[in-house]
Amino acid sequence: MDIVIELMGGLEPATSMIKAAMDRGKSLVTANKHALYEGQGDLESYGAKKKVGLSYEAAVAAGIPILDIVRNRLFFEEIEEITAILNGTTNYILSRMAQGMPFEQALEKAGDMGYLEADPSLDLEGYDSLHKIGILYNLAFGSYPTSIKREGIKRSTEIKTSNKLKLIARARPSGVSVALEEVDPGSPFYPIDDGMNAIKFKTKYTKELFFSGPGAGGEATALS
């Protein structure tokens, strides 16, 4: 066996098992955004040291091949800002709430769809989006952010608006954030509903690029 696929998630024992496999000369495939972000580049450097591959396309935005786009397609571009919906679970819940469904019912339906993390707080409190925007930041700007301003969707039950609420992740060289925001019909994020994800890049040369696609669920994630 030359390749190990890590499907456990979380920090431990996943991180130790990934390194143990690398010690045995095995390349790794993982969607473990938690371990990647918290490692702050440690897993990538450990794999390089052991001369094995580490592939993690599915760690961010599920079915959208966004890491390949940043790593290989935008290699000569200068990315100035990333704005994104990166958590399909909260996007699904907020979409259902916009249609009048109570929060608890929307949460239950998200679970029925297979969207929720084993620990739902990772989705609901913004940690999942934090991990993903941190990975994108590393690829776009060359290092992991050491701190990210974060909030989840708790306030959504208190906000009355004719616009839509979205959990938006933003990354600039000067800082990173995950926050609940209102988006109006003029925003490209307005029609991104249910389990969909979307990423917008502001760049020096192509000016603006926008990608969207399935961002939650086992099939979309497994495809990457």
Tokens of 89: 């679970």
Q: Which amino acid is at 94?
A: L
- 109 in catalytic set: no
Output 110-119 pairs: Cβ under 8 A, ≥24 positions apart: 113/195, 113/216, 113/217, 114/217, 114/218, 115/88, 115/89, 115/195, 115/216, 115/217, 116/89, 117/9, 117/89, 118/9, 118/10
The residues pairing with 100 across neighbouring beta strands, listed in sequence order, are none
Q: 73 and 50 in contact (C-beta within 8 Å)? A: no
Please identify which of the residues 132, 164, 166, 200 carries the catalytic annotation: 132
The residues pairing with 55 across neighbouring beta strands, listed in sequence order, are 29
Q: Which residues are catalytic?
A: 132
